[in-house]
A and B are shown apart, each in its own frame.
Chain A
Amino acid sequence: MAVNRNVVDRALAVLRALPRVSLYNIRDHDHRKKKSARGQHGGGTHGHGKKFRQNYLPLGFESGNTPFHLRFGMEKYYKRYRLEREYPPVSLLMLQKMIDTNRLDTTQPIDLSSICNTGVYSMNINFNHHGVNLTDEEGFDQFCAKINIEVQWASEGAIAAIERNGGVITTSYYDPLCLHAVTDPARFFLRGDPIPKRMIPPEDAIEYYSSADNRGYLADPEKVSLARLALAQKYGYELPKIEDDPDYTMLTMRKDPRQIFYGLEPGWVVSLKDKAILKPKDKELLEYYRT
Chain B
Amino acid sequence: MAQFNRFTGIFPLFRAIKGIKVNHSSNYKSAIALENLYPNSKLTLTTPSKIPETNEKFNGYIPVKELQITYSRSSGPGGQNVNTVSTKVDLRFHLESATWLNEDIRAKLLEIQKNKLNKEGYLVIKSDLTRQQHMNLADCLSKLRKMIWAACAADAPAPAPSAEFLEMARRRKEKAARERLLEKRSRSMTKQDRQAPSLD
Contacts and interface: CB of A to CB of B under 8 A. Distances in A.
7 contacts: A107-B18, A220-B37, A222-B38, A236-B137, A258-B31, A263-B24, A290-B30
Given A102-B16, A160-B134, A221-B42, A236 B32 contact: no
A252 B60 contact: no
A259 B24 contact: no
A185 B22 CA distance: 15
Contacts of A114: 16
B24 A222 contact: no
A179 B12 CA distance: 20
Contacts of B47: 225, 228-229, 239-243
A229 to B, nearest CB: 5
A256 B44 contact: no
Interface string A258-272: 110111111000001
A262 B134 contact: no
B134 A224 contact: no
B44 A252 contact: yes
A113 B24 CA distance: 14
Interface residues of A, number: 67
Interface of B: 1, 4, 6-7, 10-11, 13-19, 22-26, 28-34, 37-38, 41-48, 50-51, 60-62, 64-65, 67, 69, 132-135, 137-138, 140-142
Given A157-B135, A233-B62, A290-B30, A221 B14 contact: no
A122 to B, nearest CB: 14
A242 B45 contact: yes
A220 B134 contact: no
A169 B150 CA distance: 34
B89 to A, nearest CB: 9
A229 B23 contact: no
Contacts of B137: 235-236
Given A228-B45, A237-B64, 5 more contacts: A105-B17, A189-B11, A236-B137, A262-B26, A265-B26
Contacts of B48: 225-226, 229
B45 A234 contact: no
Interface of A: 102-105, 107-109, 113-114, 117-119, 136, 140-141, 157, 160-161, 168, 184-187, 189-190, 197, 200, 218, 220-222, 224-226, 228-230, 233-243, 250-254, 256-259, 261-266, 272, 289-291
Contacts of B62: 233
A289 to B, nearest CB: 8
Contact of A234 (B7, B67, B138): B138
A141 B134 CA distance: 8
A121 B15 CA distance: 15
A263 B37 contact: no
A176 B116 CA distance: 55
Contacts of A189: 11
A234 to B, nearest CB: 6
Given A236-B64, A238-B64, A221 B34 contact: yes
Nearest to A217: B34
